[in-house]
Structure 1
Amino acid sequence: MFHITVLAVGRLKEKYLTEGAAEYLKRLSAYAKISVVEVEDGSLPENPAAAGGEKVKEKEGERLLGRLRPGTFLIALDVRGKMHSSEEMAEILNRLALSGRSDITFAIGGALGLSEKVLERAAMRLSFSRMTFPHQLVRLILLEQLYRWFKIARGEPYHY
């Protein structure tokens, strides 16, 4: 069985996000042991594009890296990552399982994204779109996609 960790900067604050995440976590429990690990987000400076923003991103990255389990297969969610279809991601998960890689961590950065150290540590960089989404919404999208990938991998219907 897969052990999936969603490693995220910050907490979900909006009710619709927490309810949606809870629903997909419940659905995913039939397919994998899944956990969400949150690390503290940094305080953004007035001008996040300045050097202060990089420092915030670096500190968040250190917190994320400090929570990684040894040997986990790290997938970084990054707007500059490679885009895959849901079917392709289901196949990637199957290949990981067949190669004995059942411990997978998905890293979601804060408002400024992931630090270079996290991106360098990642075995894979995944993008859901070339558009930028709020990092809290990305968590819900990831959970929905994980559920979809497992359904596809098992040949189960997804759309009802």
Structure 2
Amino acid sequence: MRLAIIAAGRLKPGPERTLAEDYLKRAQGLGRGCGISRIAMTEFNESQAASTELRLAEEGRIIAAALPDISFAVALDERGKALASADFASLLRRHLDGGTGDVAFLIGGPDGHAPAVRDKAALTLSFGPMTWPHRLVRVMLLEQIYRAITILAGHPYHRA
């Protein structure tokens, strides 16, 4: 199975990027042994359109174009479902066992996701009701992916 992170905005050099790259590297290394062949990150510039509606529509088109053809799409949104780390690992396990080719995690821009993106997603996932900066969401998602992989691998990183 392949994982894709499709995100509005680009991480600039700095601590968030360093941390994101560290979790990505860790997840890629341990993930191969669990059946996760690739974890890819696609970033694109946030829309500079004049209105929220236009920005959402433009970013929604870019996200849709970047999605793998046959994938399980997960939109990250504060209105989504919160999962415990073990439940997130179980979600990945079900898709691994079920033969899902691609799981794509979608991170919108500062205005969130266009309704069409949320509607197309198979799951809307929340990291809680608080609003998080997009650069931290990327780090949090990568850490949770790494944590889920350690759970699947029986690695002692996650302590319940």
Normalised to the residue count of structure 1, the TM-score between the two structures is: 0.91
CA distance in 1, matches of 2:123, 2:67: 15
Correspondence for 2:44 among 32, 35, 39: 39
**What residue is the counterpart of 2:103 in the other structure?**
104
Q: Does 1:149 align with 2:148?
A: yes
Which protein has the bigger helix share? 2
Gaps of 5+ in 1: 46-51
CA distance in 2, matches of 1:68, 1:102: 12
Give CA-to-partner distance per residue, 1:37-94, whole Å, 9 cap, x none: 012211265xxxxxx1121111111111011111011000010000010000111111
Native 8 Å contact 2:71 2:103 kept in 1: yes
Following superposition, which runs of at least 4 residues in structure 1 exceed 6 angstroms of deviation? none
**What residue is the counterpart of 1:8 in the other structure?**
7
* Matched ranges for 1:2-81 at <5 A: 2-30=1-29, 31=31, 32=36, 33-43=38-48, 45=50, 52-81=51-80
Give the fraction of aligned pairs with identical amino acids, expressed as a percent: 38
**What residue is the counterpart of 1:83 in the other structure?**
82
CA distance in 2, matches of 1:10, 1:155: 34
Q: CA RMSD in A?
A: 1.4
CA distance in 2, matches of 1:132, 1:68: 24
- How many residue pairs match? The answer is 153
CA distance in 2, matches of 1:159, 1:120: 32
CA distance in 1, matches of 2:55, 2:66: 17
CA distance in 2, matches of 1:14, 1:130: 28
The secondary structure found in structure 2 opposite 1:138 is helix
**Amino acid corresponding to residue 63 of structure 2 in structure 1:** L
Moved more, 107-116 or 7-16: 7-16
